[in-house]
C-alpha cells in the first residue's frame, strides 16, 4: 500500500516543489531525482503485486494489468527526464523559451506523471476521467512552450479537440453510473471498476452499449484513433522533444488502458445478448481504419516529428484492433506491443530531437547525412526506425508476429489488410529515412552534444525483449491476459 | 403518466430544465460577446436551480452542495473570469456574427430531437421524475459541441466548451441523482484549471496572430508541415 | 327544447361580441395613458379613442379616382372579419354557443382574411407607400403565422383539441400546473402578438414617418368612416390577442356557467388581466426601440424557435413525465 502511495504521490510532491523552485539547474536535477524515486517505488510496487496478486485500497487498485504499465510509465519518465535535463538547459540558453517557461515545464512534467499514474492506479471511473483530463491540462501549456504560431495553434487544437473528446467520455461515465444504479446493491459504489466488473452481467446492455460508444469516442480521441486524431500530429511535433517522447510513449497507452478497462465491463454486460461482441467490433473497426489511414498519411509528411506521430497513430490503431479481436493470443500480443512501442517510440523521438538539432530544422528534406555528421545519431535513428517498422530481432517484430498469428486464427481476411498496412508504413518510413541518414551532409553541419543514453537503454531493452523475453515478464503479461480475457495464453 | 400528476416541485424542475435548453440556444446564436457570457452565467445559475429543486423534491440533500458548487463556479466565477479576460483583451464591444443563424439553429433543433431519440430506450423504464431531463442534458451537450464547431472566435468556443460541461453536470444530476462528491469536486477543479489555461491561451493566440479568430490558425496543414 | 334558454345564451353571445367591440378602444386608451405616465406626461383622457372614432365617423369620405370597388369595400370586410374572429374568443364566459366555432385555426384564418383585404386595399390606389406597407405586412405575417400556428399546436397537443373553449377548459381542469410547453408557447404568442398588431418593436403605431410604417402605410389613403372602421378593426385585433393570451394562459376567473354572478366575476377578471397586459405593453413600448425592418425576421425566428421548443418540450418533458 505504501509502495502504491509513494509511486503516485511522489510526482505530485515533486510538481509542487518544482513550481516553487526558482533555480533552473537544480530544477533539472530534482526532476531526475523525483523520477528516479518514483521508478524505484513502482518497482517495489511491482514486486509487491507479484507476491500478493493484487493490491487494493483507498480507491486504488493495482493488478497485473496496470502494474506493468505503471512501471513502464515511471521508467520512461525517468529516462526522458535524464535526457531532458541538459536538453532543456540548452533550449533555454538558445532563447527558445524563458526561465519562467522552464519552471512551468518542470512542474508540469511531474504533474503530468502524477496524473498518468493516478489514472493507471485508480479504481474509480470518475477519478480516471479527472486524471486523464488532468493529463491533458498539464501538457497543453507544454506543447505551446516555444510560443511560435505553429506551437500555439497545435496547443489550441490539442486543447479543444481533446477537451471535447473527454467531455463525451464523461457522458459515457455518467451513463455507466446510471446503469450501475440498478445493478448494484449499493448504488453509491457505482463508479468503482472492480465492483462493476463483478456485477457486469447485471448492467443493462442498451445503456452500456450507448455508454461505450461515448467512451470510445471520448477516450479514443486521446488514443489518436482516426477520425479523432487531428490533434496528434500537431501536438506531438510542436512541443519540446522530451514532451513528444512522453506524449507518444505514455499518454496514448494510458488512454488505451482506459478503453480496455471499459471494454471489459461492456463485454460482461453484453455477454448474454444478441450482439455480445459489439465493443470488440467497434474497437476493431476504429483500430483498422486508424492503422491503414495513418500508414498512408505517413508518406505525405514533410516534418520528421509529424511522420513519427503518424507512426504512433498507426501502432495505437494496431493495438486497438488487437484488443478488439480479443482472445488470449491477440491480447498478449497487444500488451507486449504497448510495452515495446512505448520504449521504441520515446527513443526515436529523443533521437529525432538530436537530428533536428544537428540539421537546425524539423523538415525532412533539409535533414541529410546524419550518419556522416554524427554516426551515433545516424545509427540510433536507423536502428530505431528498423525497430518500429517491425524488423527482427527487435521486440516489435515479436508482438506484431503474435498479432498476425492471432488475426489469421480469428479473422483470416484481415491479415491481408494488416500485412499491406505494415508494408505501406515500412515503405513510408524508410523512404523518408534513407536520405536523412545516408544522404550527402550539407556544408558546415556539425555534431552536437549527444545525450543518447536513454536511446541506448530503450533500444537495448527492446532488442532484449525481441530475443528472449524474461520469464517474470512473460508471467506478468500472461496474468494480465488472463485478467482481460479470462483465459491464459500459456 | 402526464405532467399534471406530478407534484408542483417536480413540475418546476421540468420548467427550469426547459429554460436551460433555451439558454443554450441563446448562447448558440448570440453575436455579442458580453451578452453570450451573460447567457452562459444564466445557464449555470439555472442548472444550479434545477439541482436544488431536485434536491428538495427528491429529498437528496447532498445535491444542495453540488448546486452551490455549480452556482459559485459556473454562474459566478467563470463568467467573472471571462468578463475580466474580455476586458483585458479589449473585446468589450466585439460582435462575432454567425454566418447562417437560421441553419445553425435548425441544426440545433435537430440535435434536440436526436438526443431525445437516443436516450428514449434508456429512460423508458426509469421511475425517477428526472428521467425526461436526460434528453435535455444530452441536447445541451450536443448544442455546446455545435457551438464549438460553428463559431470561430476563441472566447465563444470556450463558452461552448463550458456549456458542454453544464450539460454534463445536468446529465449527472438527472440520470443518476448526482455523482459522488469526490468526482464532482475533481470535475469542478478540472473545469477551473481549464478556464485558467484558456485565459493564458487567449493571450498567446492574440500575441501570435493579432486576433482571436481561430480560423486564422491554419499554418499546420495536412500536407505535412508548416510553410517555409 | 328550451327556446328561452337558447335565445338567452345566443343573446349573451351577441352581448359578448358587442362588448368586445366596445372595449377595444378603451384598451388602446389605457395603453396610451400608461405610456404617457411613463413619459412623465398626463396624457390624453382614457376615452379619447372613442371621441376619435366618433369624429371620424362624422367626417366626409374622400376616395382617390384611381380606387376601385375593393377600396370602398375593404374597410367593411376587414372590420367584420376581425369582429367575427373576436366574437369567437371567450372573453367573459366559456360555455357560449359561439364556442363551437371558436377553433383557433378559424380565428387565424379570419385574421388572415382581414389582412389580405387590408393589403389589397393598400395596393389598390397605386401609391408607393401603400404598396410598401402591403409588402412589409406580408413579410411580417409570412413569418409570424407559422410561429403562431406552431404555438397553437403546442397548446392543442395538451388540450387534445384546437377549440379555444376546450383549451381553456383543459387548463382550468388541470389546476395550477407548470408546463414548460405553455411557457414557451406564451413567449412565442407574445412575440407574434407584437408583430401582428403592429406594436413596437416591429412597427410604431404612432409614427408619422411613412418610410417606417407598416400598418399605417396601408390605411394612409383612407378617410372618414372608412378610416374609423380600419382603426377600430386594429383596436379589436389588439384586444383579441390580449384576451387570447390572458384567457388561455391564466384562465382563472372566467365564467364557467351563465349565472350572473359568474359573468360579473368573469368580466372583472378579464378587465383586470387586460389592465395588467396593457400596462406591460406600454412598458415594453417605452423601453424597447423599433427594430429595423430587416431585423424583423430574426425577431420572428425567435418566436418560431420558442414555439418549436414548446412543442419539443411537450413531447420530451410532459408526455410520460
Distance CA B129, CA B220 (A): 49
On whether any CB of chain B is under 8 Å from the CB of C294, the answer is: no
Task: State the smallest CA–CA distance between residue B174 and chain A in angstroms.
Answer: 10
Helix, strand, coil shares of chain A as percentages rounded to 5?
A: 80, 0, 15
Q: Cα separation of C302 and C292, whole Å?
A: 16
Are chains B and C in contact at 3+ CB pairs closer than 8 Å? yes
List A124's β-bridge partners, or say none: A192
| Closest Cα in chain C, distance from residue B31 (Å) | 12
At C38-88, the pLDDT tens digits run: 999 999 999 999 999 999 999 999 999 989 999 999 999 999 999 999 998
- pLDDT of B224 reads 47
In sequence order, what E strands does A153-275 have?
Answer: none
Burial class of A413 by CB neighbour count within 10 A (0 to 12, 13 to 18, 19+)? exposed
Q: How far is Cα A213 from Cα A197, in angstroms, rounded to an integer? A: 18
Nine cell digits for residue C103: 377553433
CA gap A113, A138 in Å, rounded: 9
Task: Report which DSSP code applies to B61.
Answer: T
Contact yes or no for A174 and B176 at CB 8 A: yes
Q: Rounded to whole angstroms, how far apart are CA atoms C132 and C216? A: 11
User: Is chain A in touch with chain C: ≥3 Cβ pairs within 8 A?
Assistant: no
Residue A443 distance to chain B (closest CA, Å)? 20
Find cell 395550477 and name the residue: C176
Alpha helices (H) along C250-287: 260-287
**How wide is the angle at C-alpha C88 spanned by C-alphas C84 and C90, nearest 5°?**
140
Give the other-Cβ count within 10 Å of C172's Cβ. 14
- How many other β-carbons are positioned within 10 Å of the β-carbon of residue C87? 24
CB contact set of A443 (below 8 Å; sequence gap of 6+): none
C1: confidence class by pLDDT, cuts 50, 70, 90: low
- C306 — contact with chain B (CB < 8 Å)? yes
| Cα C177–chain centre separation | 26
The label of the residue with cell 411613412 reads: C210
Q: What sections of A21-63 are H helices per DSSP?
A: 24-52
Residue of C175, C179, C316 lying closest to B135 (CB–CB): C316
Residue among C145, C163, C171, C185 at smallest CA distance from C97: C163
Geometric angle at alpha carbon C181, from C175 and C185, rounded to 5° = 105
- C263-309 confidence digits (pLDDT tens): 899 999 999 999 999 999 999 999 999 999 888 999 999 999 999 99
The answer, yes or no, to whether ipTM is higher than 0.95 is: no
Contact B116 C315 (CB under 8 A): yes
Q: Given pLDDT bands bounded at 50, 70 and 90, which one contains residue B228? A: very low
Closest CB from C177, C305, C312 relative to B4: C177
Q: Does B116 touch chain C (CB under 8 A)?
A: yes
Peptide bond into A126 cis (omega under 30): no
Helix then strand then coil, % of chain B, to nearest 5: 75, 5, 20
* CA closest to B210 among chain A residues: A149
SS3 A447: coil
Q: Express each pLDDT in B20-48 by its tens digit.
A: 999 999 999 888 899 999 999 999 999 99
**Set of chain A residues whose Cβ sits within 8 Å of the Cβ of B220:** 150, 153-154, 157, 234, 238
**Cβ <8 Å between C175 and B133:** no
What count of CB pairs under 8 Å joins A to B?
A: 139
Whether residues B112 and C317 touch (CB distance < 8 A) is answered with no
Judged against a pLDDT cut of 60, whether residue B73 lies above it is answered with yes
Three cell numbers, residue A69: 504499465
How many beta carbons lie within 10 A of that of residue C142, not counting itself?
Answer: 11
Q: Give the separation between CA A438 and CA A428, rounded to whole angstroms.
A: 16
Nearest Cβ partner of B2 from C180, C313, C319? Answer: C319
Smallest CA-to-CA distance from C189 within C137, C244, C129, C122 is with C244
Q: Tell me: the pLDDT tens digits for C82-110?
A: 999 999 888 888 878 888 888 889 999 99
Q: Contact A150/B219, CB-based, under 8 Å?
A: yes
- Closest partner residue to C180 (CB to CB) among B18, B25, B112 is B18
User: Which burial class, exposed, middle or buried, applies to A19 when counting CB atoms under 10 A from its CB (0-12, 13-18, 19+)?
Assistant: middle
Cell triple for A187: 448504488
Q: How far is B189 from chain C (nearest CA, A)?
A: 32
List chain A pLDDT tens, one digit each, 490 residues: 888 888 889 999 999 988 888 877 888 899 999 999 999 999 999 888 888 878 888 888 888 888 989 999 999 999 999 998 888 888 888 888 888 888 889 999 999 999 999 999 999 999 999 999 999 999 998 898 888 888 888 999 999 999 999 999 999 999 999 888 888 888 778 888 988 888 888 888 888 999 999 999 999 999 999 898 989 998 998 888 899 999 998 999 999 999 999 999 999 888 888 888 889 999 999 999 999 999 999 988 888 999 999 999 999 999 999 999 988 999 999 999 999 999 999 999 999 988 888 888 888 888 888 888 888 899 999 999 999 998 888 999 999 999 999 999 988 899 999 999 999 999 999 999 998 888 888 887 878 877 888 899 999 999 999 999 888 889 888 888 988 888 887 7
- Contacts of residue B157 in chain A, CB cutoff 8 Å? 160
Contact A130 B164 (CB under 8 A): no
> Which residue in A127, A167, A297 is closest to B165 by CB distance?
A167
Per-residue confidence band for C320, with pLDDT thresholds at 50, 70 and 90: low
- In B, which residues are within 8 Å of C321 by CB distance? 1-3, 5-6, 10, 14, 129, 132
Predicted model pTM: 0.90
Compute chain C's Rg from CA coordinates: 20
pLDDT at B213 over 60: yes
> At C8, is the pLDDT very low, low, confident or very high (cuts 50, 70, 90)?
confident
Q: Are strands A60-62 and A55-57 parallel, antiparallel or unpaired?
A: antiparallel
Amino acid at each position: 500500500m505504501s509502495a502504491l502511495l509513494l509511486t503516485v504521490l511522489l510526482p505530485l510532491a515533486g510538481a509542487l516543489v518544482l513550481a516553487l523552485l526558482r533555480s533552473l539547474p537544480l530544477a533539472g536535477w530534482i526532476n531526475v531525482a523525483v523520477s528516479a524515486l518514483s521508478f524505484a517505488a513502482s518497482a517495489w510496487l511491482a514486486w509487491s503485486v507479484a507476491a500478493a496478486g493484487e493490491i487494493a485500497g483507498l480507491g486504488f487498485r493495482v493488478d497485473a494489468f496496470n502494474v506493468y504499465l505503471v512501471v513502464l510509465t515511471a521508467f520512461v519518465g525517468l529516462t526522458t527526464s535524464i535526457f531532458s535535463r541538459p536538453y532543456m538547459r540548452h533550449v533555454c540558453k538558445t532563447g527558445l523559451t524563458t526561465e519562467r517557461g522552464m519552471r512551468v515545464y518542470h512542474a508540469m512534467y511531474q504533474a503530468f506523471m502524477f496524473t498518468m499514474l493516478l489514472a493507471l492506479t485508480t479504481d474509480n471511473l470518475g477519478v480516471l476521467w479527472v486524471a486523464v483530463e488532468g493529463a491533458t491540462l498539464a501538457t497543453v501549456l507544454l506543447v505551446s512552450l516555444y510560443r511560435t504560431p505553429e506551437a500555439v495553434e497545435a496547443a489550441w487544437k490539442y486543447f479543444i479537440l481533446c477537451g471535447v473528446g473527454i467531455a463525451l467520455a464523461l457522458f459515457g461515465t455518467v451513463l455507466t453510473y446510471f446503469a450501475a444504479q440498478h445493478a448494484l446493491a449499493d448504488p453509491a459504489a457505482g463508479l468503482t471498476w472492480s465492483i462493476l466488473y463483478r456485477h457486469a452481467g447485471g448492467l443493462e446492455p442498451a445503456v452500456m452499449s450507448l455508454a461505450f460508444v461515448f467512451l470510445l469516442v471520448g477516450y479514443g480521441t486521446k488514443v489518436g484513433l482516426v477520425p479523432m486524431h487531428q490533434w496528434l500530429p500537431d501536438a506531438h511535433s510542436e512541443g519540446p522533444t522530451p514532451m513528444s517522447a512522453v506524449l507518444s510513449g505514455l499518454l496514448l497507452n494510458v488512454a488505451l488502458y482506459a478503453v480496455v478497462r471499459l471494454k471489459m465491463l461492456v463485454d460482461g454486460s453484453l455477454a448474454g445478448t444478441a450482439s455480445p461482441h459489439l465493443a470488440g467490433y467497434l474497437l476493431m473497426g476504429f483500430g483498422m481504419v486508424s492503422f491503414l489511414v495513418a500508414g498512408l498519411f505517413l508518406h505525405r509528411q514533410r516534418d520528421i516529428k509529424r511522420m513519427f506521430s503518424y507512426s504512433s497513430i498507426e501502432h495505437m490503431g494496431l493495438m486497438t484492433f488487437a484488443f478488439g479481436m480479443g482472445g488470449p493470443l491477440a491480447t498478449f500480443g497487444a500488451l507486449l506491443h504497448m510495452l515495446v512501442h512505448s520504449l521504441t517510440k520515446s527513443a526515436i523521438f529523443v533521437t529525432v530531437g538530436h537530428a533536428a538539432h544537428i540539421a537546425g530544422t524539423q523538415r525532412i528534406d533539409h535533414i541529410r547525412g546524419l550518419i556522416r555528421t554524427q554516426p551515433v545519431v545516424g545509427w540510433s535513428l536507423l536502428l530505431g526506425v528498423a525497430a518500429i517498422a517491425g524488423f527482427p530481432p527487435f521486440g516489435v517484430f515479436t508482438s506484431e508476429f503474435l498479432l498476425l498469428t492471432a488475426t489469421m486464427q480469428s479473422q483470416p481476411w484481415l491479415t491481408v489488410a494488416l500485412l499491406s498496412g505494415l508494408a505501406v508504413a515500412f515503405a513510408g518510413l524508410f523512404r523518408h529515412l534513407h536520405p536523412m541518414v545516408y544522404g550527402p551532409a550539407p556544408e558546415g553541419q556539425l555534431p552536437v552534444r549527444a545525450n543518447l543514453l536513454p536511446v541506448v537503454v530503450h533500444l537495448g531493452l527492446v532488442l532484449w525483449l525481441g530475443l528472449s523475453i524474461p520469464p517474470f515478464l512473460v508471467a506478468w503479461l500472461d496474468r494480465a491476459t488472463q485478467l482481460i480475457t479470462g483465459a491464459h495464453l500459456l | 403518466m402526464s405532467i399534471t400528476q406530478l407534484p408542483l416541485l417536480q413540475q418546476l424542475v421540468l420548467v427550469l430544465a426547459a429554460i436551460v435548453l433555451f439558454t443554450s440556444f441563446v448562447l448558440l446564436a448570440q453575436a455579442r460577446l458580453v451578452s453570450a457570457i451573460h447567457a452562459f452565467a444564466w445557464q449555470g445559475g439555472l442548472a444550479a436551480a434545477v439541482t436544488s429543486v431536485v434536491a428538495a423534491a427528491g429529498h437528496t440533500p447532498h445535491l444542495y452542495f453540488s448546486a452551490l458548487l455549480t452556482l459559485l463556479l459556473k454562474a459566478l466565477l467563470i463568467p467573472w473570469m471571462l468578463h475580466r479576460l474580455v476586458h483585458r483583451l479589449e473585446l468589450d464591444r466585439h460582435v462575432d456574427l454567425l454566418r447562417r443563424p437560421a441553419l445553425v439553429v435548425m441544426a440545433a433543433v435537430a440535435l434536440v430531437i436526436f438526443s431525445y431519440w437516443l436516450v428514449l430506450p434508456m429512460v423508458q423504464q426509469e421511475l425517477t421524475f428526472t428521467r425526461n431531463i436526460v434528453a435535455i442534458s444530452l441536447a445541451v451537450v450536443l448544442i455546446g459541441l455545435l457551438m464549438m464547431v460553428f463559431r470561430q472566435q476563441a472566447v465563444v468556443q470556450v463558452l461552448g466548451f463550458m456549456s458542454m460541461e453544464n450539460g454534463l453536470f445536468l446529465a449527472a444530476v438527472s440520470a443518476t441523482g448526482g455523482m459522488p462528491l469526490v468526482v464532482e469536486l475533481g470535475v469542478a477543479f478540472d473545469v477551473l484549471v481549464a478556464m485558467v489555461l484558456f485565459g493564458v491561451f487567449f493571450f498567446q493566440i492574440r500575441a501570435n496572430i493579432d486576433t482571436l479568430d481561430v480560423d486564422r490558425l491554419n499554418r499546420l496543414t495536412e500536407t505535412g508541415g508548416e510553410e517555409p | 327544447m328550451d327556446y328561452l334558454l337558447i335565445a338567452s345564451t345566443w343573446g349573451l353571445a351577441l352581448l359578448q361580441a358587442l362588448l368586445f367591440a366596445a372595449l377595444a378602444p378603451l384598451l388602446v386608451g389605457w395603453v396610451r395613458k400608461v405610456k404617457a405616465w411613463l413619459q412623465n406626461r398626463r396624457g390624453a383622457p382614457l376615452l379619447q379613442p372613442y371621441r376619435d372614432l366618433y369624429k371620424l365617423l362624422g367626417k366626409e369620405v374622400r376616395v382617390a379616382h384611381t380606387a376601385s370597388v375593393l377600396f370602398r369595400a375593404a374597410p367593411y370586410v376587414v372590420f367584420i372579419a376581425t369582429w367575427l374572429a373576436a366574437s369567437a374568443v371567450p372573453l367573459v364566459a366559456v360555455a357560449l354557443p359561439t364556442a363551437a366555432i371558436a377553433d383557433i385555426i378559424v380565428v387565424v384564418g379570419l385574421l388572415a382574411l382581414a389582412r389580405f383585404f387590408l393589403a389589397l386595399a393598400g395596393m389598390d390606389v397605386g401609391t408607393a407607400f401603400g404598396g410598401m406597407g402591403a409588402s412589409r405586412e406580408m413579410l411580417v405575417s409570412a413569418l409570424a403565422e407559422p410561429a403562431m400556428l406552431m404555438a397553437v399546436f403546442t397548446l392543442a397537443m395538451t388540450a387534445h383539441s384546437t377549440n379555444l373553449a376546450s383549451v381553456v377548459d383543459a387548463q382550468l381542469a388541470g389546476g395550477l400546473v407548470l408546463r414548460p410547453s405553455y411557457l414557451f408557447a406564451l413567449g412565442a404568442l407574445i412575440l407574434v402578438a407584437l408583430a401582428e398588431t403592429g406594436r413596437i418593436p416591429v412597427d410604431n403605431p404612432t409614427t408619422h414617418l411613412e418610410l417606417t410604417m407598416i400598418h399605417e402605410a396601408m390605411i394612409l389613403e383612407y378617410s372618414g368612416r372608412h378610416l374609423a372602421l380600419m382603426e377600430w378593426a386594429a383596436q379589436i385585433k389588439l384586444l383579441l390577442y390580449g384576451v387570447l393570451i390572458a384567457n388561455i394562459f391564466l384562465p382563472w376567473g372566467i365564467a364557467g356557467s351563465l349565472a350572473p354572478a359568474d359573468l360579473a366575476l368573469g368580466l372583472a377578471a378579464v378587465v383586470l388581466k387586460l389592465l395588467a397586459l396593457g400596462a406591460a405593453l406600454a412598458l415594453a413600448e417605452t423601453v424597447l426601440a423599433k427594430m429595423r425592418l430587416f431585423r424583423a425576421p430574426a425577431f420572428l425566428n425567435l418566436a418560431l424557435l420558442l414555439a418549436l421548443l414548446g412543442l419539443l418540450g411537450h413531447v420530451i418533458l410532459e408526455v410520460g413525465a
